[in-house]
Amino acid sequence: MSRPFTLTQLRYFAVVAELQNMTAAAQALNISQPALSTAMAQLQSALQTQLLVRQRPRGVRLTASGRQLAQDLKPILEQADSLYESVNGMSASLSGELKLGVFAPLAPFRLPTILQAFEAEHPEVSVSIVEADLARLQEVLLRGECDVALMYGLGLGSGFTFEVLERIPPHVLVYADHPLAVAGRSRIALRELKDDPAIVLDLPHSREYYERLYRSAGISPRVRHRFSGYETVRSFVAKGHGYAVLNQRLHNDRTYSGGRVVALELSDDFPPIEVMLVRPAGVQATRRALAFEETCRLIYGRAGSPDS
């Protein structure tokens, strides 16, 4: 019969799994490397499975069992911390690291305000941020590298739970001297721009969303340029290179290029983009993640019911 493993061994393994280097993990834990190696050997013996494969010089690679344990450990260690705090009368406090994912074009619009409120309420929590496109965010969530992500729901696969915070309709951006802007138009149909060149925000899943809008309007866009940067798109529009269909709207009409843009509402019946809080399904949320989600609700409300 195998010996029971300890909470300390699990904590050690979590650090080894994150750093994938025994020397770095021992330094982070402030223990000797032989002591760490012994703890890992005892844990594998207790579980009767190999969790780590040594790689030269001091690196390690997780086995399939190791990857699964690393993913399952987060809520277990979080519950252990919660139990300790509750017994010691500190259940209201939060500490440790929140690993947060955010969709890059969304980050400057929403994240500063949210984190300002969250960090004021939970000053002992350190927040590390993964800023990425939608495809990358799904990957890091499933690998357990993020606790929760603030992102669009475009192309969201299975294996996630989500909550809609906000629904944002698309609009058109034109340069300040565009005939439609000069005419004082504030609302147009997308077909009115069918002969104009288009500047496209070209990101995984976002591009498919905009392509659906064009198909729905019955037009084929004359794409002049594609960019992955939101501000790059705005700057090219401001200099008259074309129009753009976007969702997020700035309060400022100035761009990095020094030109001005004008936002026009669309009369087309286009679906909005949903801003969501997304977590991997089947994994219990950490208290830090739940606290972050509550901050988001307090600031932006809730546009829809939680789903999965």
3-state secondary structure of 298: helix
Q: What is the mean pLDDT of residues 16-45?
A: 92
Quote the CA–CA distance of 99 and 128 in Å, as a whole number: 5
Q: Give pairs for 32-41: CB < 8 Å, separation 24+.
A: 33/58, 36/12, 39/8, 39/9, 39/12, 39/13, 40/9, 40/12, 40/13, 40/16
Closest by CA position to 173, among listed 155, 190, 160, 159: 190
pLDDT number for residue 158: 87
Tell whether the model's pLDDT for residue 303 goes beyond 60: no
Q: Give pLDDT tens digits for 285-297.
A: 888 999 999 999 9
pLDDT number for residue 252: 87
Give the DSSP H or E segment for 102: strand 96-103
Q: What is the mean pLDDT of residues 152-176?
A: 93
pTM above 0.95, yes or no: no
Domains of the chain in start order, with CATH, are: 7-88 (1.10.10.10), 102-165+274-300 (3.40.190.10), 170-266 (3.40.190.10)
Judged by average pLDDT, the poorest of 12-26, 85-99, 163-177, 239-253 is 85-99
Q: Give pairs for 249-255: CB < 8 Å, separation 24+.
A: 249/171, 250/109, 253/176, 255/231
Tell me phi and psi for residue 196, to 5 degrees: -85, 150
Q: What is the mean pLDDT of residues 3-32?
A: 90
Closest by CA position to 257, among listed 241, 278, 269, 276: 241
Closest by CA position to 80, among listed 245, 303, 287, 234: 287
